Amino acid sequence: MSDKKIIIAGLAIFFVLITFPFWINMGKAANAPELILAPTAQAAMDSGEGCVLPLDEMRANHMQILDLWRHSVVRNAERIYVGADGKEYNMSLSNTCLDCHSNKADFCDRCHNYASVTPYCWDCHIDNPKGE
């Protein structure tokens, strides 16, 4: 009979553990991060010019593009990226990406913190090279 108590206690502990995500978020609103586009980026979006790739692709793939850009610049000394629409870009985080997206704290960090991602871009690059 004492076994049954132990089993129920164990089961209760197990259920408390597996429902962790439910009770840890109790009473919290699950707001997705709101991104603020820097003026230059906003202008590019409003004019329909857009980013290097379409929005959905950028959201999912930007890290891979940065990785490829770095590889291509550092290893192969190729600096020109031709976008899908034939437009040419300088493969540079500081000079191309951050030129428009000059607000790391309100743009990059919002999603990265939300998804618990710690990219090592900023180990070398400063976040706002032009000091705007």
Partner 1 sequence: MNAKYMYSFLAVLALFFLAYLGVRVPGLPVVFGILLPYAAVIIFIIGVGNRIMGWARSAVPFRITTTCGQQKSLSWIEQNKIDNPSSKGAVIVRMLLEVLCFRSLFRNTRIKMKEGPKLTYHLEIFLWIGALAFHYAFLVTILRHLRLFTEPVPYLIRLLETVDSFFRLEILYDVVQIGLPGVFISGFVLLAAAVYLFLRRLFIPQVKYISLAADYFPLFLIMGIAFTGIFMRYFSKVNVAAAKELAMGLVTFSPHIPESSISGVFYAHLLFVCVLLAYFPFSKLMHMGGIFLSPTRNLPGNTREVRHINPWNYPVKVHSYEAYEDDFREKMIEAGLPVVKQPAETAPEEKE
List residues binding partner 1 (CB under 8 A). Answer: 1, 3-4, 7-8, 10-11, 14-15, 18-22, 24-25, 28-30, 32-33, 55-56, 59-61, 63-64, 66-68, 71, 111, 113-119
* Smallest distance, partner 1 to C-beta of residue 95, A: 20
Q: Which of residues 68 and 126 has its CB atom nearest to partner 1 in the complex?
A: 68
Neighbours of 91 (CB within 10 A): 20
- The minimum distance between CB 97 and partner 1, in angstroms, equals 14
Amino acid at 88: E
Least Cβ distance, residue 52 to partner 1 (angstroms): 15
Which residue lies nearer to partner 1 by CB, 63 or 132? 63
Q: Return d(Cα 9, Cα 92) in angstroms, integer.
A: 58
Nearby residues of 123 by Cβ (< 8 Å), 6 or more positions away: none
- Residue 69, burial from CB neighbour count under 10 angstroms (0-12, 13-18, 19+): buried
